[in-house]
Structure formats: structure tokens, C-alpha cells
Amino acid sequence: MTVNKENLQFQTEVNQLLHLMIHSLYSNKEIFLRELISNGSDACDKLRFEAIGNDSLYENDGDLRVEVEFDAQAGTITVRDNGIGMSRDEVVANIGTIAKSGTKEFLSKLTGDQQKDSHLIGQFGVGFYSSFIVADKVTLTTRRAGSTEGVRWESDAQSGYSLEQVEKATRGTEIVLHLKEDEKLLADGWRLRNIIRQYSDHIPLPVNMRKTEAGEIKDEWETVNKANALWTRSKSDVKDEEYQEFYKHVSHDWEDALAWSHNRVEGKYEYTSLLYLPSKAPFDLFDRDNTHGLKLYVQRVFIMEDKEFKLMPRYLRFVRGVLDSADLPLNVSREILQGNKIIENMKSGSVKKVLGLLENMAANEPEKYQSFWKEFGKVLKEGPGEDFGNREEIAKLLRFASTLDDNAEQKVSLTDYISRMKEGQDKIYYITADTHTAAKNSPHLEVFRKKGIEVLLLSDRVDEWLVQHLMEFDGKSLQSVAKGALDLSKLETEEDKKEQEKVEAEAKNMVEQIKKALDGKVEDVKVSHRLTSSPSCIVLGDHDMALYMQQLLKQAGHEMPSTKPTLEINPTHPLLKRMEAETDDDRFAEWASVLLDQAILAEGGQLEDPAGFVHRLNGLMLAMV
């Protein structure tokens, strides 16, 4: 009996993705089986979780498994699971649309170059749609546990998909791949067994195929994969390739992991952790709902995904893997898990393991660490603000660009910085700006360059937040070169100091005059000891937010208290010399105004009256010709 057959269109993004999948992943076509088996395994995990406290969902079939069958004549492969299944709405939501936020943006990055795109798509995760690499038609029939109605979804990836209500005796999902003409050879027992062993050996769920004897397919099933939970084996028995394949299953990633840490922890509580660092950031790294993280098991039985329980803090949200507790009861409920001591203990132990893994990598494999930093550094920088207890540990792992190097690469650690500090220097100097170029060219760096003092150049959005929470490292305070009073007295010679006093005394009148001209616009006007080649700069209070950040927050609709900056001038600059000679008061005021406005611009701030600035500047230029 068939009712309700209807044809539906894929969401635009799905169409794009399908097209891409079919054309760029050709050289990796065997992964479709890993993806389908992985989905079947997830579906069994979900059933187990939902069945806690509701045994009837098992429908007397608690022997969870994935089955793979083929028909060489018809050219089909079937992958079947007795997991949770899907309702009609779930099929539409999960298979007809991509709900992940940022998908549009992700797809807009595609280039049409197959090599590059296949890397990009790895960051997205290939999943169910990879079926269409080898099939020109896919039929998915599913029934949700506890429901009486089944639903059939079918598509050729060209013209949308059809949905119809069907009878389905068994719970779970069955997927039939109608292989493309030139892929029909995949419908072969030997090949399929090999693919399963290669990619799905260590998922903790049996993957079964029918026995064959003398070329004849029997009615009996046998388990093809090892189906033992990889993390329960001892480290020395597990090959790197096995770790990598298991990684792809838990992470939904299709590139290799960068590194992992596998631990059996004994002590007050007993648990096993297998924690992976991906080599590439997923496209939705900054999506707050980004889900896949750690999976929680109790004595090898899946309990739940990280989504429900933050098993990793947000600044380590890229970590993937498994925690398996020997102490929690098998029938745990959400209520038990909330604030549970055992969970908290596993969490903090795992954070330490990840930080230790990173520290080791930074020390022993600096290039590898650099590649980690490129992908995830911005996220790790959230750490000092989020995890007070591990602040020192995290701070050791941070890397920055600095005035020592001309490029934007973030390579300098705070420890490196301290080891290079000048005699008498007691602070770690940094500057924050909107871009690396703006940081690098800031007038505030002039005196530091002259004295050969290194300054860290911070230009990630998160940096301003980082420095608010990381006030010191290894007993040295962090100091913005653009904020507060600059005290380099310990680094200055007697001659320097004398010279400064002289300049200050000579400029006294002019400073007063400028202060009068800018009355109400600035907090104060001072002679600068920071500038060598710029005429002026803005200095903010120690606790003020950088101008470019204030700008950003204003644009985002936040009320910002308007703090008046201090203007510092460089009396030795030719422009200031020219001003000194100015006899017309009005014109002097114009000069002063331009000095202030250009200093604000150099700081990434915005002028209240840009047109007025341009007008004044033009007036002054004309007066010169």
C-alpha cells in the first residue's frame, strides 16, 4: 500500500553540495560506505540513549547492528541498521536540508577547482550525500523506533526527491544504492569486506554481511569488522591507521587527525579517554551550536553526545573523541549527570590531557604546533578568560606576531618574548589593532623600534578580550603600548632623559595653546616620548577599550561611554615646528584639529566629522602652496 507520494525540491545548498560531491570526491569514492555505516552506528547510539528508561523502544530486538548486502546482478548495495530510524519530518530536515549555520558562506568559498574544493568539503563533512559519488539513485526507507509508519525517500540527485508513506516491519533505516553503470563492480563481497575492514573495523558495533560458501551467498550472517571499541585496547596494540580511521568515525571529519592522546586513568575514578586534535578547523568552528565534540560512554555503552553536556570547555571545542567511565551507572539519566562529580573529574582530567598534548607538541614538534595554531589559535585565545585555573598553562601555548618579524605569522610565545627582554625591561609590551598592518605601522611603536624593544602585534578580534583576562605571565605584566602612561625610564640613558626634559620645557607654550584649541575634545595634551617620526598620537586610559573595538561595538549597537583621549605631540616633528611659527590663531586651531583627527585615524577610530577634517586638511595644504 502506498499513499501520499509527493515530490519535493532540495534546499539550494543541498543541490550545490550534491553537485560538488559527485564531481570532486571521485578519487575517494569508497568513503561512502564508511559514512553510511557511521550513520547507522550513530543511529544505534541514539536508540540506546532514548531507550534508557523506555525499554519498549527496542521492540524486543536489542541486538543492535549494521548489515551490508549487495546484488551484483541488479548493481545495488544495501546498508541497513536497526537504530533509531527517522520520522517523516526528520527525513525532510536531515536529508533534504542542511541546517548547519554558515553553510551558504561555506559554499560561496568553493572555487570550481576540484582539488581545492575537495579539501574544503572535508571541513564540511561529507556524510549521507557521499552516496551519490557511486550511485545515481538512492532509496532510503526508515521507521522511527516507537512509530508504526515508515517513510521512503528516493532521489537521483538531479530533480529533487520523492517521499511516500510505506509499511516497514523493522525499526531503523535501510539505504539502497543503485550503482552507476561504471561503479557496478563495487557490488562485490570481497571488495565490500575489504572496505569495511579498512574504514569501520573499530566502531563499537558489529557490521554484518551474509556468509558466502563456494561463491554462494548463504542465509547466515557473519560479523566483518572487529567491532571492539578501539579505546578499550591497549595503546601499544593500536596502529596509527586504526586511530585515524576511528577518528573519522567519531569526528565526522574526513581528513586525518593531527594528534591524539589515549589514556587509561586510574585513581579515585576510573575512566578511559581518547582525545583527538583535528588537523583542519571545521567550517563552523565559530558556530556556538557546533555539536560534535566528545562522546560519553559508560562501560562501552554509548550514553550521549557533547551537545547535551559540555564535556570540553568552549576554548577546546575542536577536540573530538571518547570518554568512557567505569564508575557511572549504566542507567544514568540527565539529572544524575548534571554537576556530577565523576563527570567533573573526567572533564578536568581531559582538559589537562589536551593541554599537555599541546605543550608536548609545541616543545617537540614546533612545525606541527604551528599548523595547529593556524587553525585553532583564535579559539585557544578564549582560554585565559574562560578557564581561570589553567590560565598559566594556556598562556604558555599562545603565539603572537611581533615587531621582530615582518610577517603576520603568529610564532612568538610569551616565554620567547621574556627570554629576549632588554636589561631593565619589566613588562611584556603589546599593541592591539584591527589588522596586522595597522598594528605594525602604529605610531606607538616608534620609540620601541628605536630602542630595539620587541612589541607583540595583536590583531585578532579575540585579542582585546584576551588581554583583559591575561594581565601577567611569569611574573611580568602585559602592557599595551597605546594605553596609559609610558614609563621606559629604566631603559633610558641619562642623556635621553636630559634631552626629553629640554624638549618638554621648550614645547610648554605650544602644548598650552593646543590644549586651548582642542578644549572639550581631549582629556589632556602632552609631549610624547613614544614618537620619533609621527607628529602626534592618541593615548587611551589603561582600562579603555581600543578605538577600533569601540567602533566595532558601536556598530553592533552597543552604547559606548565616550572617553576623551589624551593627545601626545612630537615637538621635534617638522609639522609641529611649522605650527610653532603660526601667528594666526584660527589657523593654529585648524592645525591642532588636524593633529588630533589624524591620530584618531591612525588608531583605527572614526571621526565625528570626516568632511570637516578633509576640508581643514585641504585648506592647510592650499595655504602651503
When binding is defined by CB under 6 A, the residue of 21, 48, 76, 83 that contacts ligand ADP is 83
Which residue is associated with the grid cell 604546533?
A: 369
Q: Quick one: which segment of 84-92, 146-154, 413-421, 477-485 binds ligand ADP (CB under 6 A)?
A: 84-92
Q: Quick one: which segment of 123-131, 295-303, 391-399, 549-557 binds Mg ion (CB under 5 A)?
A: 123-131
Closest CA to 285 of 256, 246, 253, 247: 253
Cβ closer to ligand ADP: 322 or 458?
A: 322
Is position 200 an interface residue for Mg ion (rule: CB under 5 A)? no
Q: Quick one: which segment of 101-109, 121-129, 482-490, 579-587 binds ligand ADP (CB under 6 A)?
A: 121-129
When CB distances to ligand ADP are compared, the closest residue is 127
The gap from C-alpha 488 to its chain's centroid, in whole angstroms, comes to 38
69 touches, from Mg ion, ligand ADP, none (C-beta below 5 to 8 Å by class): none
Q: Pattern 238-257, binding to ligand ADP, x per CB under 6 A? A: --------------x-----
Judged by CB under 5 A, the number of residues near Mg ion is 2
Cβ closer to ligand ADP: 64 or 579?
A: 64
Cβ closer to ligand ADP: 75 or 127?
A: 127
Q: What count of Cα atoms within 13 Å lies in the side-chain half-sphere of residue 247? A: 25
The least CB distance from residue 58 to Mg ion, in Å, is: 23
C-alpha cell at 203: 566502531
81 touches, from ligand ADP, Mg ion, none (C-beta below 5 to 8 Å by class): ligand ADP
Is position 282 an interface residue for ligand ADP (rule: CB under 6 A)? no
**Residue 440 amino acid letter:** K
Closest CA to 510 of 595, 580, 566: 580
Terminal Cα-to-Cα distance of the chain (whole angstroms): 92
Any residues with CB less than 8 A from the CB of 335 and at least 6 apart, and which?
none
Cβ closer to Mg ion: 39 or 123?
A: 39
Return phi, psi of residue 128, to 5°: -55, -40
Strand order through the sheet with 536-539: 524-527, 566-569, 536-539
Question: What residues pair up with 457 in beta bridges, in sequence order?
Answer: 401, 431
Closest CA to 567 of 533, 516, 614, 616: 516
When binding is defined by CB under 6 A, the residue of 20, 25, 103, 125 that contacts ligand ADP is 125
Is position 22 an interface residue for ligand ADP (rule: CB under 6 A)? no
Closest CA to 481 of 436, 524, 440, 523: 440
Any residues with CB less than 8 A from the CB of 435 and at least 6 apart, and which?
459
278 touches, from ligand ADP, Mg ion, none (C-beta below 5 to 8 Å by class): none
Q: How many CB atoms lie within 10 A of CB 313?
A: 18
Q: Pattern 20-59, binding to Mg ion, x per CB under 5 A? A: -------------------x--------------------
Cβ closer to Mg ion: 127 or 571?
A: 127
Is position 127 an interface residue for Mg ion (rule: CB under 5 A)? yes
Strands 257-265 and 76-81: unpaired
Cβ closer to ligand ADP: 35 or 446?
A: 35
Q: Where are the alpha helices (DSSP H) in 414-473?
A: 414-419, 436-440, 446-451, 463-469
Is position 40 an interface residue for ligand ADP (rule: CB under 6 A)? yes
C-alpha cell at 439: 598594528
* 203 CB burial (10 A radius; 0-12, 13-18, 19+): buried
Q: Pattern 145-174, binding to ligand ADP, x per CB under 6 A? A: ----------------------------x-
Cβ closer to Mg ion: 31 or 433?
A: 31
The least CB distance from residue 127 to ligand ADP, in Å, is: 2
Question: What residues pair up with 207 in beta bridges, in sequence order?
Answer: 66
C-alpha cell at 348: 578536568
173 touches, from ligand ADP, Mg ion, none (C-beta below 5 to 8 Å by class): ligand ADP
Cβ closer to ligand ADP: 317 or 378?
A: 317
Between CA 236 and CA 240 the distance in angstroms is 10
C-alpha cell at 539: 593615548
When binding is defined by CB under 6 A, the residue of 11, 78, 94, 101 that contacts ligand ADP is 94
The least CB distance from residue 459 to ligand ADP, in Å, is: 33
The dihedral over CA atoms of 151, 178, 173, 188, expressed in degrees to the nearest 10, equals: 160
Q: Quick one: which segment of 8-16, 55-63, 122-130, 528-536 binds Mg ion (CB under 5 A)?
A: 122-130
Closest CA to 366 of 402, 412, 408: 412
C-alpha cell at 44: 544505534
The least CB distance from residue 232 to Mg ion, in Å, is: 23
Is position 35 an interface residue for ligand ADP (rule: CB under 6 A)? yes
Is position 34 an interface residue for ligand ADP (rule: CB under 6 A)? no
Any residues with CB less than 8 A from the CB of 323 and at least 6 apart, and which?
271, 272, 273, 294, 295, 296, 297, 311, 346, 350
Judged by CB under 6 A, the number of residues near ligand ADP is 16
When binding is defined by CB under 6 A, the residue of 17, 95, 478, 514 that contacts ligand ADP is 95
Strand order through the sheet with 476-480: 401-402, 456-458, 427-432, 476-480, 472-473
Q: Pattern 190-229, binding to ligand ADP, x per CB under 6 A? A: ----------------------------------------
Cβ closer to ligand ADP: 252 or 378?
A: 252
Between CA 64 and CA 49 the distance in angstroms is 13
Which residues of the chain form contacts with Mg ion (CB under 5 A)?
39, 127
Which residues of the chain form contacts with ligand ADP (CB under 6 A)?
35, 39-40, 43, 81, 83-86, 94-95, 125, 127-128, 173, 252
